[in-house]
Structures are given as C-alpha cells and as structure tokens.
Copies of this chain bind each other. A is one copy, B any other.
Amino acid sequence: MPTPSAVAGRFTAVRSNSLSLAASLTPEDQQIQAFPYASPTKWHLAHTSWFFETFILRRWLPALAPRRSGYEHLFNSYYEGVGERFSRPHRGALSRPRLEEIHRFREEVDHGISELLRRVDEPELLDLMLLGIAHEEQHQELMLTDILANFSVSPVSPVWREQDPAASPVGPAPRWVPFGGGLHRVGHDGEGFAFDNEGPSHPVFVEDFALRNTLVTNAEVVAFIEDGGYETPSLWLSDGIAWVREHAVFAPRYWRRGSDRTWRQFTLYGERELDLAAPVTHISAYEADAIAAWLGGRLPTEHEWEIAARACGADASLARSAQDGPVLPRATAEGPGGLAGVFGEVWCWTRSAYAPYPGYRPPCGAVGEYNGKFMANQWVLRGGSCATAQAHSRVSYRNFFYLPERWQFTGLRLARC
C-alpha cells in the first residue's frame, strides 16, 4: 500500500494531466457531444471530480465537499446506488455549469482531497484514492477518444493539437511465437492496485497456442478490403455480417476515401494519409474476428493473451502513452519475449466474453457497480492503447466493450493453435 503522500503525489499528477489533455480545446470544443457515448470533455472533467467528492470527500471530509447544487444528478455516470442520473445522450446540452465553473469545482475537490490526505491515512481511504486515480486515468483515455469522435462529424476537420506526426516505422516481419499449454495462473495477484474484475487470481487450463509477434496493420486491412472481406459472409459471425449490412460498414471507423480513391484517416491531428505500417485501430470485435479469419488465424482468448504477456515479461511501465508521443498507434520493435506492441498501441480484442472470474464478488455499496454489472454482451480487450495512461497498463487489466463499438483505439493480434 503506498503512503498517503505518494498517493497525494499521484493524485496531483493525474489531476493536472487531465487539464493538460484538454488545454488545447476551447470551451465550445469541450461542450460538444456528437454521439450518445462520446461525452463532452467538460463532462469528463466534472465527473471525475464528482467521483472523488461522492465516494471520498463526503465520507471522510464532508466539510470540504463542494456540494454544488445539482451536480450529484448531472455528473453521476451510472451509479444506481447514488440516485438518479442525467440522461447520457443529453450531456452535450448542459451549457451550465460553464467550463470555468467546472474548473473551480475541480480546484475545490483538489483542495479537499489534498487536505484529507494530510489528515487521514486509513487503508480504505487510500484504496479508494487509488480507485479514483485509476478512474480518472480511464476518463483521460475517454477524453481523447470522445473528442476524436465529436470532431469527426465536422466537415472542417478540427484537430485536438496542432501537430504533424511522422508516419509509423515499419515493424518486424510477422512470425508466430509459440507458448506452451497446461495449467497457468491468471488474474491479479494482489500486489499493487487493480480493479476488482481482475481477480481473484486463479488457475486455468489452456492448450498449446501461438500469437503473432506483431499487431495486424492497416496494410493488411487494406488487403482484406480489396479481397472483398466486408462482403464475404463466411468470414463473419452472424451478428457481425448483420451489423456490416445494417450500417453499411466498409472500412475501419475514421477511414475515408480521398477524391483519388486513396485511403485517408481522421485522427486527433486531422485527416491524414492512411499510415499503412501502423497497427489498425478503431475496429469492432466483429471486424477483428473477420480479419483474423481472413488472415488464417483467430482472436486469442484473454487467458492466452495474459499467459503470453506474462511469459514474455511484457512490461507495461515501458508503454508509450498519451503523454509521450502522438496519440496514434505505431509499429514497434519486438520486446524481450518476441511480442511487439503489447502495451501502448491498441487495445486488442480477445475472443473472451467479459465474465466474472471464479469467486469474484463486487465490493459492497455504489462502487460495487464499477465493473460487475457490465458482465454481459461484451468482450474483453487486453493491452492498452496510445491513449492509455502509462500507469494504467497492466498485464491483468481487463477492458471491455460491446462488440460493435469502435470509437476506442481497438485493434487485434492473431492467435492460432
């Protein structure tokens, strides 16, 4: 368990980082919401503060809880235990409170928490602080993916940051890296912070398998498209081909055809030439599954991914993240165990439905709603993306999204038996 002052340090850093990520955006940019799931930047800034206020300040230092009228309702995301919530698709309609007011709210929460950490050092508090920090890191990633989605509808192609990142280097030649089957232990082992859904640690039996060293690239998906991949039902799950037909999907999200028919991609740096060497991103689980089939492989299970990452000693602390470089996935060199791009590029779809580990029980109270109640109709993603906070990557981390969702930095790595 870290000390209160170490926690206070991490708290200050994460809070300041959220503001940095939004610094290049105008108040109007931070107001908009083009899709029900893509919340305004401003809302993320408020909601993450609401989390600290609601679950920590109100309990341990209520005198310093800002208690703004209406915030409990406006900035609750999905905690039924906390009360009624404002309609998610209408968050973009909340011009009040203004951004400046939300900045003030953040400052008051920051002040309260800092004060609290000077006074109290109960383990339960520190646990919840780590949860609040991890929660804010998650929303930092959402701030990036949501502003990308919200900007994407504009014909004037706004950019998050004025920058012109170079194209990705070319990655290593593809090859299969074998891993031995048998009984393996997976899940969080209890050291350091983890979400409740990462445990309990437990044995699983897997057969021998192999993963490809590199992530699937944009160039491979161009070839999939040119081979008629989106029109070939035998490559797809039944729900997948139905989704393709209903939404007339013909390429990863944010890919656009230029006037000369070349592929372009809308990014946080505006619309750019498609970066062929880079890992593909913004694909649904359906696309990932079909692309894997077309490439002669399959998606790994989440256990295979974790066993391989552990076997390779994949070190999340070396992951690139939104602070280091452009928020664009890149081809990287192979790590020590032979796998390239395990963390810091794209979230890898796995073939595993999001389900409780054996013996899992959500914590009591409203924070217990953090993970458990979402364990249906979603698949697990592993790794971490170029938009993930570095400290937020973990070998046991279980991200999860509905199969058609693709506004996150989602890609795939091939597996085979």
Contact = CB atoms under 8 A, between A and B. Distances in A.
Interface in A134-158: 150, 153-156, 158
B92 A92 contact: yes
Interface stretch (A306-314, A369-377, A387-395): A369-377
Given A93-B34, A237-B373, A183 B205 contact: yes
B80 A32 contact: no
B93 A33 contact: yes
B158 A96 contact: yes
Contact of A98 (B28, B86, B356, B403): B28
A356 B352 CA distance: 10
Given A351-B355, A377-B403, A153 B90 contact: yes
Interface in A359-412: 359, 369, 373-377, 403
A147 to B, nearest CB: 10
Nearest to A183: B205
Nearest to A286: B376
Given A156-B69, A377-B239, A34 B80 contact: no
A31 B95 contact: yes
Contact of A203 (B150, B205, B238): B205
A191 interface: no
Contact of A95 (B26, B96, B286, B358): B26
A233 interface: yes
Contacts of A204: 205
A155 B32 contact: no
Query: A155, A286, A417 — which one has the most chain B CB atoms within 10 A of its CB?
Result: A155
Interface in A271-294: 285-286, 289
B93 A32 contact: yes
A323 interface: no
How many protomers of this protein does the assembly include? Answer: 4
A34 B351 contact: no
B374 A93 contact: no
Given A154-B94, A203-B205, A355-B351, A373 B32 contact: no
A78 interface: yes
Contacts of A92: 32-33, 92-93
Contacts of A158: 95-96
Contacts of A241: 80
A71 to B, nearest CB: 9
Interface in A226-247: 233-234, 236-241
A81 interface: yes
Nearest to A207: B358
A155 B87 CA distance: 11
A74 B183 contact: no
A336 B158 CA distance: 58
A237 B376 CA distance: 7
Q: Which 10 A-B pairs have the closest CB atoms?
A: A353-B353, A34-B93, A80-B233, A28-B95, A238-B373, A29-B95, A70-B156, A205-B205, A96-B158, A237-B376
5 contacts: A26-B27, A81-B233, A94-B154, A95-B154, A377-B377
Given A74-B156, A93-B154, 19 more contacts: A26-B95, A28-B95, A31-B31, A31-B32, A34-B93, A69-B156, A70-B155, A78-B238, A81-B233, A92-B92, A92-B93, A93-B153, A96-B156, A204-B205, A238-B369, A238-B373, A238-B376, A240-B376, A358-B417
